[in-house]
Each structure stands twice: as structure tokens, then as C-alpha cells.
Amino acid sequence: MKKYLIIAVILVTSIAYAQPVKEHGSLSVKGTQLVDQKGKAVVLHGMSFGWHNLWPRFYNKGAVHELVSKWKCTVIRASMGIELNNRGYLKDPVVSVKLIQNVVDAAIKEGVYVIIDWHDHNIHTEESKAFFSMMSKKYAGYPNIIYEIFNEPDYETWPEVKKYSEEVIAAIRANDKYNIILVGSPKWDQAIDLPAADPIRGYDNLMYTMHFYAGTHKQWLRERTDKAMAAGLPVFVSECAGMEATGDGPIDHEEWRRFKEWMDAKQLSWVAWSVSDKKETCSVLNPVAASEGNWKETDIKEWGKIAMKALLEYSNK
């Protein structure tokens, strides 16, 4: 009897803490599809931390463990704010890097993929090159790593974003030849048609980010993204949520359902925004939530419960 009990405990533990990186290994891009080391299609689902310079308290191993063990994230996004206040990377690079590495190191330990997100709306080429050169030197040997080199270009043209991206990609590839790099597109990652018409050449394992907020972005963005993929562009939804693009307002449940069903049908990886506690719809936690996880049901807001439910559904398939 004791023998069977021990086996049951081992099985439950292995299910509870399944490690996608052990299963899939190094990721690459085949056509428009993210694939694993065996060439099998991989679809990642997870949560994004909010700006590190606004919610630094969540940038720790306990919060990562909570998102992996209880929310069943297979990918975590660490969003390093570049501007905005005196705690952004431009004003405080030492603390900024430390907080991002807290999350990256914890994700590696948990066996999940992790996105190092340059969370900026403006071009800072030299600063970005220096940062990603440093991070790619440190983490090139880990298949967990995904680099997101420009969160959401806003008013920059695609030629400007492309030139910036090519320089940053070169800095990463000098150290890390293989891990996935995510490239942004103009108009807050909605102008995905522009890189589809003029993609970056000469590098492997690039994907392009599309972001949506279901209360604002509708069928037109799905159709635009479909056309981009039909043209051969690999797409990764590195940020999404169910409310308006402001991050606030009511959740559009029906439009979120449409987007989710569409992403599932297209085998698109997605990351929900955000692990933060601001008084807004998109922040998944209430201010009383502990910094290091162990969140109670009452700590999690409506959007958090919707995102968590979606993530748990994938883990039960």
C-alpha cells in the first residue's frame, strides 16, 4: 500500500510541476510555426509581469513559482520599463537588470520559457544593444530564453523599427545564435502587415509580435494578422487582454472568446497582461495580494480569474 502511495505522490508532483523546457528544449521557427527541438509545433501560454519600475514587488521567485505551479504558465514575460520614471532602465539600470534577472533565473529554475521584454515605446538603439548584448552573453546557453527587443513602437515607421531591430538582433546573435527573438511593429504592434511586406532578412528564429485588447481591437486585427501569416510572417502574441486598449474599462467577454478561439485555431502563443495591482481592469491582482505569491481567490481580480481559467484549461488537455 505504501509503495502505491509513493508512486501516486510522485505522479501528482510531476504533473503539478511539469517543465515545458525539459519536454521541448530549444525552440525554433519553421515556416510561421514555433516548434520544439524535435520539430513539433509548440504553443506557449502565460502571464506578463507589469512594468518592473511600477510593480517591482512582484519581480521575485515566489511570484514566478505561483504563476507556474498554480496558473500553469509555460512562459513568463519580464517587462523592463525603459522610461517613465526614475526607476526605469535609463535612470536606474543596475536595479532594473537585477529585477529582470530575478524573474529570468526563477523561470529557468521552474523549467519554463521566459521573455526578456524591452518595454519601451521609443527607440533607444545604443542602450538596447548594450542591454541585450549583456543578457545574451549571460543566458545564451539556456533554451528558456526569448528576447523581445521592442515592446510597442507607437509612432515610429516600419523602416525605423526595422533598422533598430536589425542592429539589436546583430548584438544578440553575436552571443546567442539560436534563441527566439521577437520583433515589434508600428502602432502598438497592430501594424503587423508592414513587416509582412518587408521582413527582416538574414536571421533565423525571428517572430513578430501582435498585441490586442479585445475591448478595442476586433475582427479587423485578426484578419490583418491572418494575411500577415499567409504571407509567411511568424507571429507571437506577446501581450493581450480582454478590456480596452487603455488597460481599463469593461471586459469584452465575447470578443475575448473570439480572439482566444482564433489563437487556438492558428496555434498562436499568447501572454496575458498583467501581474500588477493598479486600480484598473487589466491588473490581475488586488493591492492586498502578497508580493511573493500564495494568492488567495479574493486577491485575484476578474481579469485574473479569466486568464487563469484559460491557462488551466490548456494544462488539463
Residue 204 maps to a domain: yes
- Per-residue pLDDT reduced to its tens digit, 17-53: 579 999 999 999 999 999 999 999 999 999 999 999 9
- Per-residue pLDDT reduced to its tens digit, 185-234: 999 999 999 999 999 999 999 999 999 999 999 999 999 999 999 999 99
* Percentage, residues of the chain above pLDDT 70: 94
**Which residues are known to be catalytic?**
152, 239
The b/e string for 113-138 (b: 16+ C-beta within 10 A; e otherwise) is: bbbbbbbbbeebeeebbebbbebbeb
Residue 122 maps to a domain: yes
Model-level pTM? Answer: 0.94
C-alpha cell at 63: 511570484
Residue 107 maps to a domain: yes
C-alpha cell at 8: 501516486
Residue 9 maps to a domain: no
- Per-residue pLDDT reduced to its tens digit, 224-260: 999 999 999 999 999 999 999 999 999 999 999 999 9
| Of residues 15 and 255, more confidently modeled | 255
Residue 206 maps to a domain: yes
Q: How many domains does the chain have?
A: 1
**CA-CA-CA-CA torsion for 117, 44, 42, 12, nearest 10 degrees?**
130
pLDDT recorded at residue 221: 98
Provide the domain limits for residue 105.
Answer: 26-315
Residue 21 maps to a domain: no
The Cα 223–Cα 229 span in angstroms is: 10
Alpha-carbon distance values, 68 to 110, 281, 312 (Å): 7, 22, 10
Q: Judge whether 28 and 54 are in contact, CB under 8 Å.
A: no
| CATH number of the CATH domain containing 116 | 3.20.20.80
pLDDT recorded at residue 8: 37
Residue 139 maps to a domain: yes
